[in-house]
């Protein structure tokens, strides 16, 4: 069994055995500090206590990222000494690239882009049965991810966290003229991105503020700047991909790193004539480094059936907690009755929080830590107000896969919400609360074998409302990590939702 560790930004712990990922969880879910940076004490302890019976079962420790010092290094060395097994450090971007092993491509181009890690901000590699061959790199100065993060900070959002808000704003229309500046580009001769600012981080934000003459938030100008940033991102990424598809003839693309969470960019990539297929892992950010490092060590292909790999809700823990609550109506539900009972509540236009089974890994809630409702504009507005979420941020639907081609143009199976689709105009009204201003939707398409209980809930909703979809947003208060354990679920439910399915217990508020 391989123990994987990421002890940097959005740290995590993973356990891999043979070709199976047994466990993986982000430390933020335990500490309740979003994108927690540091040694993953809690996720490590939960994994070891829950899935490792004897210390001898562990054969090696792998660490995502090579360079660290001080307390971080001391804690890793202490872990190694305690377990008495070898420990290997792997390059940050190589760990991102390792996710190609989760795809079904025999050969592919692997593009990794983020703010930076281990001295690099992007790599372009060929992945096949022989391993990974890196053929292009960009250093920390020429960082596309940092450019987008600096725009995020300029607009008053949190860099390395709120880039999705910039992406969302870029979909709105404005009468202002298009911004056209040479700030970031791709150089075919050097095979590297080029940052004409020559600075990154806070210095980049200051330079952009001066160049764009930005003094304070302005809706129209914010949209204009967001459109500029998104357009530049798409332009430079398509340039590098086209060059290497032309040079290698390889048309299957794996895209990883934090920038791969930009679904508008992903949509642009998959619609290019020179691309046959695109695979975006469900954990493209740094949380995936723990798994990536272990994959590099094992050198095997992995069959990823789903991402329900984290903390598991325990009915015994639920019983102890609910006994102390006085303002709820509580009852136990048999597993077979969950789809009908929860489906009926949703059909009656209730917002139902779900915290059941194992927690999903990655940035998206996929039915085990979700808030579900009918996909109406009314529910979208209600949630935005309750969660204090920016009004321009869209919600996503989960659609039963066999019906998805009725709603989605160029439909592809998308169980992890990593892709963006155009919705047919004739069907927009059915799922209005999950359609963005540009007519797109970041849909999860769901097959029964992926999550049977979740599938059956939506199927009941479909039988009742004739709409095979629900609004699905992550179960957390805005700015907090997705809920992890039983107490997290109770605390969040007190502020959002009409009912909570916690394990097998249905909890409803007493009016």
Same fold, 2-94 and 103-283: yes
Q: Can you tell me which residue has the tokens 């619609």?
A: 271
Q: Is the pLDDT of residue 299 over 80?
A: no
Q: In what order do the strands lie in the sheet with 131-139?
A: 131-139, 120-128, 108-117, 252-256, 277-279
How far, in Å, are 14, 347, 506 from residue 341 at the CA level? Answer: 35, 10, 9
Residues 104-123 have a mean pLDDT of 97
Q: Specify the CATH number of the domain 309-509.
A: 3.90.870.20
> What average pLDDT does the chain have?
96
Q: Coil, strand, or helix at residue 6? A: strand
Q: What is the pLDDT of residues 170-194, one digit of tens each?
A: 999 998 889 999 999 999 999 999 9
Residues 196-215 have a mean pLDDT of 97
Q: What is the pLDDT of residues 143-162, one digit of tens each?
A: 999 999 999 999 999 999 99
Q: What is the pLDDT of residues 26-71, one digit of tens each?
A: 999 999 999 999 999 999 999 999 999 988 899 999 999 999 989 9
Percent of the chain at pLDDT exceeding 90:
93
State the pLDDT at residue 120. Answer: 98
Q: Is the pLDDT of residue 506 over 80?
A: yes
State the pLDDT at residue 55. Answer: 83
> pLDDT-based confidence at 383, cuts 50/70/90?
very high
Domain 2-94 has CATH 3.40.50.150: no
State the pLDDT at residue 420. Answer: 98
State the pLDDT at residue 165. Answer: 97
Number of Cβ atoms within 10 Å of the Cβ of 239: 15
> Hey, which residues does 192 pair with through a beta bridge?
187
State the pLDDT at residue 322. Answer: 85
Q: Coil, strand, or helix at residue 372? A: strand
Q: What is the pLDDT of residues 411-445, one digit of tens each?
A: 999 999 999 999 999 999 999 999 999 999 999 99
Q: For the chain, which residues make up each domain, given as ranges? A: 2-94, 103-283, 309-509
Contacts for 437-440: CB closer than 8 Å, 24+ residues apart: 437/171, 437/172, 437/173, 437/392, 438/171, 440/171, 440/264, 440/267
Q: Can you tell me which residue has the tokens 């020429």?
A: 142
Q: Is the pLDDT of residue 275 over 80?
A: yes
Residues 271-283 have a mean pLDDT of 98
Q: What is the pLDDT of residues 84-94, one digit of tens each?
A: 999 999 999 99
Q: Is the pLDDT of residue 325 over 90?
A: no
Given a contact cutoff of 8 angstroms between Cβ atoms, the answer to whether 180 and 152 are in contact is no
> pLDDT-based confidence at 511, cuts 50/70/90?
confident
- Please report which residue ranges of 348-376 form alpha helices under DSSP H: none
Q: Is the pLDDT of residue 107 over 90?
A: yes
Q: Specify the CATH number of the domain 103-283.
A: 3.30.420.40
């Amino acid at each position: 069994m391989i123990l994987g560790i990421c002890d940097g930004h959005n740290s995590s712990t993973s356990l891999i055995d043979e070709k199976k990922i047994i466990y993986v969880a982000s430390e933020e879910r335990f500490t309740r500090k979003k994108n927690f940076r540091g040694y993953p004490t809690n996720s490590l302890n939960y994994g070891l206590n829950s899935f490792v019976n004897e210390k001898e079962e562990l054969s090696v420790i792998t660490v995502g990222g090579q360079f660290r010092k001080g307390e971080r290094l001391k804690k890793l060395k202490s872990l190694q000494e305690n377990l008495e097994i070898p420990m290997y450090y792997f390059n940050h971007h190589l760990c991102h690239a390792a996710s190609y092993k989760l795809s079904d491509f025999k050969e592919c181009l692997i593009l990794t882009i983020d703010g930076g890690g281990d001295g690099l901000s992007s790599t372009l590699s060929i992945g096949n049965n022989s391993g990974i061959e890196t053929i292009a790199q960009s250093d920390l100065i020429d960082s596309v991810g940092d450019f987008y993060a600096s725009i995020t900070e300029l607009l008053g959002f949190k860099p390395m966290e709120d880039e999705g808000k910039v992406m969302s704003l870029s979909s709105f229309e404005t009468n202002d003229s298009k911004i056209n500046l040479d700030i970031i580009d791709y150089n075919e001769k050097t095979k590297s991105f080029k940052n004409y600012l020559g600075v990154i981080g806070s210095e980049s934000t200051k330079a952009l503020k001066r160049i764009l003459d930005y003094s304070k938030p302005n809706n129209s100008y914010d949209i204009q700047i967001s459109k500029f940033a998104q357009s530049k991102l798409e332009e430079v990424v398509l340039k590098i991909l086209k060059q290497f598809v032309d040079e290698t003839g390889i048309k299957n693309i794996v895209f990883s790193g934090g920038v791969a969470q930009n679904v508008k960019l992903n949509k642009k990539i998959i619609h290019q004539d020179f691309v046959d297929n695109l695979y975006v892992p469900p954990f493209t950010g740094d949380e995936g480094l723990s798994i990536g490092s272990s994959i590099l060590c094992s050198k095997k292909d992995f069959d990823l059936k789903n991402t329900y790999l984290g903390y598991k809700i325990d009915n015994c823990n639920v019983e102890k907690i609910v006994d102390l609550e006085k303002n709820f109506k509580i009852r136990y539900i048999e597993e077979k009755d969950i789809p009908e009972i929860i489906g009926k509540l949703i059909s009656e236009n209730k917002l139902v929080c779900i915290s059941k089974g194992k927690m999903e890994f990655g940035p998206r809630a996929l039915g085990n830590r979700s808030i579900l409702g009918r996909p109406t504009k009314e529910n979208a507005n209600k949630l935005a107000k309750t969660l204090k979420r920016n009004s321009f941020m869209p919600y996503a639907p989960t659609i039963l896969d066999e019906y998805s081609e009725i709603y989605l143009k160029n439909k592809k199976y998308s169980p992890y919400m990593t892709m963006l689709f155009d919705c047919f105009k004739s069907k927009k009204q059915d799922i209005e609360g999950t359609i963005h201003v540009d007519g797109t939707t970041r849909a999860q398409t769901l097959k029964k074998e992926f999550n049977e209980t979740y599938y059956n809930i939506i199927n009941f909703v479909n039988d009742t409302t004739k709409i095979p979809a629900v609004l699905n947003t992550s179960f957390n208060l805005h700015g907090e990590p997705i809920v992890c354990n039983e107490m997290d679920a109770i605390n969040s439910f007190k502020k959002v939702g009409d009912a909570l399915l916690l394990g097998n217990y249905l909890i409803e508020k007493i009016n």
